[in-house]
Structure 1
Amino acid sequence: MNDVSLFHGPNAGYVLELYEQYQRDPQSVDPETRAFFEQWTPEQPTDTAVAPPPLEHAVKRSPLDVTHTVSAARLIRYIRELGHLAARIDPLGSEPPGDPGLAPEIHDVTEADLAALPAEIVRGPLVEGAGNALEAITRLREVYSGTVGYETDHIQNYEERAWIREAIESRRFFENFDAERKRDLLQRLTEVEVFERFLHQTFVGQKRFSIEGTDMLVPMLDTIIRNAATAGTREVVMG
């Protein structure tokens, strides 16, 4: 596992460059890559004929396993960073733009290869109960490329980015609405859109702040105020 010859062609140079970056600053690489490098070091050239003693508990892996692990780590990173490009957020059903890097074949790995890898390489809440990496990655796609898109890669602070990704993947703030609640939300959003158009047509040329793009804040505020009232709040001031 610690022999750089396990990687071939451009992969070897890429992995060594990434490993050097990891040595300078472990936090500069994503968690999956960091976890891999914590257990992997490239073989160093020796000046003498004396070989270092073998590690007593060294884990032997085939070149294929290591290559597939690195490929899977790249795929996992792409899903977390660019999965939102494949999210189905258009209610009319148009195809999302996607990204080539979200496909396993771009990383020279197949579903069969992923099924042979442990789920733990994905890391995070979605690993629990997954039988292998393929199952965990399928869950990861459902989260990042489902009907909600999450774009988090612009968050520069690692701890903040890790916190929000954990919240996303654990579905900590996710609610499974029943059909009636969904209709109520649609009705409220329709009211917001109609009122927005009314203001636009009634006050032509007047300076105002549009709610377009943030219309979901209205039902969110409804929920906050409703919960505040339930908790005993008697007055809410906005402005």
Structure 2
Amino acid sequence: MRTSIATRANLQLIEDNYRRWRQNPESVDSGWAAFFEGFELGETPERDGAVAKPVEVRESSLQSRVDGLVYAYRTLGHTIARLDPLLDKRRENPLLTLRELGFSEKDLDLRVSSKFFFGNRQMTLREMIAALENIYAGSIGSEFMHIQNTRVRNWVLHRLESRPAKVEIPRAAQIALLRALLEAESFEVFLHAHYVGQKRFSLQGAESLMVILDTILHKCPGAGIEEICMGMTHRGRLNVLANFLKKSLDVIFTEFTENYIPDLVAGDGDVKYHLGYRTVRKLGSGGQIEIRLSANPSHLEAVDPVVEGTARARQRIRDLFMATRLLRGRGSLRKPSTCRNCPVTAPAAPCT
């Protein structure tokens, strides 16, 4: 019997007591006696007059191992994800080897399924492992099984396992994403070389943020989004201002110079990392998105409710503007009235 390190130390004690109990049940403590009686009862092949079938036992054991395989990849798959494109082969985790999971090479062509994976679809063990590696150990690692909220955890699981096996990205989009990465990296390298000793909160190591923001931006028109209200940390803020909100580089670099004294009582310091910005980005598709980056308060976490309040205010302003524009289009504009049950100021009308 294979044992873990935790149980191996007590194995000799269990075997000694078991041997004594087999010789004389009264020679051991009543707790040990009850334990060994239950153990042997579980090993008894006959249950209520019926004889357990060895085939069913083997199938039950196989199913348990298959379900354990799925759980293991969901829990530990991120530890062998291909996160470094320069590595020749995938990293290894001894807990995800066939032997550790209870299989061998000859089992790879067995037809298996799990009610916990792909809707109990039949496939070979080899295909199941390949699918699990593609989902949980590809170029993106997903660590989420620690989430205590079952509804949230299952939502993440469903999103991961319902992704297409391979996403085809047009070459033009690939070039645009590469450009976003290179611009982000070049910006940080320039600041590091020209402003030595200056306080900086670099984006280096997290340049993929620019790809994420750029992708979200270009998906906005299709989702009916016209405006983005956002807040963020100090780290990477200048890069986002320069390459996402397209703030003038002249202004950003001026804020690094020693003679830049903003009109503030407290002086300059790291004020450039607190500044907000507003811009309108025009997209290649012809649409445009207004972007508002909220200024950072001294306590950075306080920016969260600021962004939520800004977004809510902008929603109300836009709703009111649209209502006014529609009324003008009809050729009449009545005096508006405010109803406490209505989300925005609306034209005078009976309220239901």
Return the TM-score normalized by structure 1.
0.65
Q: Which residue number in structure 1 is paired with residue 144 of structure 2?
A: 152
Q: Residues 89 and 148 of structure 1 are in contact (CA less than 8 Å); yes or no, is this contact kept in structure 2?
A: yes
**Structure number with bigger Rg:** 2
Question: What is the distance in 1 between the residues matched to 2:168 and 2:122?
Answer: 22
Q: Which residue number in structure 2 is paired with residue 186 of structure 1?
A: 178
Residue 93 (structure 1) shift: 3.2
Question: What is the distance in 2 between the residues matched to 1:207 and 1:110?
Answer: 56
Q: Which residue number in structure 1 is paired with residue 48 of structure 2?
A: 52
Residue 207 (structure 1) shift: 2.6
Q: Residues 89 and 149 of structure 1 are in contact (CA less than 8 Å); yes or no, is this contact kept in structure 2?
A: yes
After superposition, the CA RMSD in angstroms is 3.6
1:64-93 per-residue CA deviation (whole Å, 9 max, x = no partner) reads: 333333333333222111212222222223
Q: Residues 81 and 139 of structure 2 are in contact (CA less than 8 Å); yes or no, is this contact kept in structure 1?
A: yes
Match of 1:224 among 210, 216, 225: 216
Change (3 A) 1:141 1:226: closer
Q: Residues 68 and 114 of structure 1 are in contact (CA less than 8 Å); yes or no, is this contact kept in structure 2?
A: no
Q: Which residue number in structure 1 is paired with residue 85 of structure 2?
A: 91
Q: Residues 120 and 133 of structure 1 are in contact (CA less than 8 Å); yes or no, is this contact kept in structure 2?
A: no
Q: Which residue number in structure 2 is paired with residue 161 of structure 1?
A: 153
1:167-203 per-residue CA deviation (whole Å, 9 max, x = no partner) reads: 1111179843133322321221111111111122233
Q: Which amino acid aligns with 2:98?
A: P
Segments of structure 1 that go 5 or more residues without pairing to the other structure are 1-7, 15-41
Residue 124 (structure 1) shift: 3.2
- Kindly indicate which of the two structures has a greater share of residues assigned to strand: 2
Change (3 A) 1:198 1:173: farther
Residue 134 (structure 1) shift: 3.8
Residue 106 (structure 1) shift: 1.9
Task: Tell me whether 1:200 sits opposite 2:192 in the alignment.
Answer: yes
Q: Residues 85 and 99 of structure 1 are in contact (CA less than 8 Å); yes or no, is this contact kept in structure 2?
A: yes
Q: Residues 72 and 114 of structure 1 are in contact (CA less than 8 Å); yes or no, is this contact kept in structure 2?
A: no
Task: Tell me whether 1:106 sits opposite 2:97 in the alignment.
Answer: no
1:23-49 per-residue CA deviation (whole Å, 9 max, x = no partner) reads: xxxxxxxxxxxxxxxxxxx99949xxx
Question: What is the distance in 1 between the residues matched to 2:198 and 2:191?
Answer: 9
Q: Residues 69 and 117 of structure 1 are in contact (CA less than 8 Å); yes or no, is this contact kept in structure 2?
A: no
Q: Which residue number in structure 2 is paired with residue 29 of structure 1?
A: none
Question: What is the distance in 2 between the residues matched to 1:204 and 1:62?
Answer: 71
Task: Tell me whether 1:73 sits opposite 2:46 in the alignment.
Answer: no
Question: What is the distance in 1 between the residues matched to 2:179 and 2:158?
Answer: 31
Q: Which amino acid aligns with 1:124?
A: F
Looking at both structures, which has the greater relative contact order when contacts are Cα pairs under 8 Å and sequence separation is at least 6? 1
Residue 138 (structure 1) shift: 2.0
Task: Tell me whether 1:120 sits opposite 2:114 in the alignment.
Answer: yes
Change (3 A) 1:115 1:160: farther
Question: What is the distance in 2 between the residues matched to 1:199 and 1:173?
Answer: 40
Q: Quick one: percent identity of the two aligned structures?
A: 29
- Matched residue of 2:173: which SS? helix
